[in-house]
Amino acid sequence: MTNFLWATCQTGFEAWLKNEVALRHPGLRSAYSRPGFLTFKSETPVAPEFDLRCAFARSFACSLGKLTVPSEHDPAFLEKLDELAKRHHAEIAQPLSEPQKGQRVLCHTIARESDAGKECWFGLHTHDPAVHRPWLDGIPSHIALPPEAPSRTFLKMEEGLQWSRLALRAGDAALELGSAPGGASLALLNRGLRVSGVDPADMADSIKTSPHFRHIRKQSTQLTKTELESLGSRYWIFSDMNIDPRSALKSILSCRAKAPALGGLFMLKLTDSIALEDMDSILQKLRAAGFGEVSMAQLYFNRAELCVAFGPRAL
């Protein structure tokens, strides 16, 4: 047991994470920090099962100390990993291998690099896919932008789909609000979904020529009940509109009221007027609308935004 834990976040969002920890865990106090890396001291011992419940934490773990080495391939680093894994009866986290639920995982992150070497911090957590990202340090290094993708929103959508584990099925309908030029649409099409993209702007040729894509050239607020009902009983809502998150939420809930959707993903933009309490209110409204499981996280490919997942998850 240890009284310290560490967390990583997107560089530039350290203050957001500190404020979120203060709101959700008054018993944690900020300690050592670097850009993108923070440590906290607890008044009581922290167990590997601890759930930080902070959207701005990309990864977190009970702290097992640090080691400065030239590289992660250095014998001293590998020896330390092996020693800690044996001592704590844990599996060593791998970049592209998701642990099993309930498995004790030994992980690490690099807090900084200097002429002296890499400052590696070790951590321990008990894996739960609803709590921890399935990738080492929360970085999906296996996701790449395909050459045919019209925009980098492909990366955000693909990471969001993998992180959220939404119970999508091939053949389901996807309603994408603010779809142009089609980066996210490509990620949805690649999963075998029938995509209806709602946007007054043009879609990329590679998207609009797909037999499984339909372009609804209008604003999301102009969607009719008939258009939504034509999607069928298994449809999902996806939104990455560059507007105030309250307005985006209003569009999602309006669609839900006209024709019930199963769930979806919503990129919540971090505007100057949004606060942590507003984010919690948005989650509560999605739950109240009947979407069931709702979660929120700042993903690796997110910038000044959070990914909100709502609806049933795959087992």
pLDDT at 97: 84
pTM above 0.85, yes or no: yes
- Please compute the mean of the pLDDT values over residues 170-174 and round it to a whole number: 98
* Structural domain 153-310, CATH architecture: 3-Layer(aba) Sandwich (3.40)
For residues 271 and 245, give the distance between their C-alpha atoms in angstroms, rounded to a whole number. Answer: 8
CATH number of 2-138: 3.30.2130
Query: Would you list the domain boundaries of the chain?
Result: 2-138, 153-310
For residue 191, what are the CA distances in angstroms to 153, 155, 169, 219, 310? 15, 14, 8, 25, 18
pLDDT above 90: residue 14 = yes
pLDDT at 307: 98
pLDDT at 116: 93
- Please compute the mean of the pLDDT values over residues 11-32 and round it to a whole number: 97
pLDDT above 80: residue 315 = no
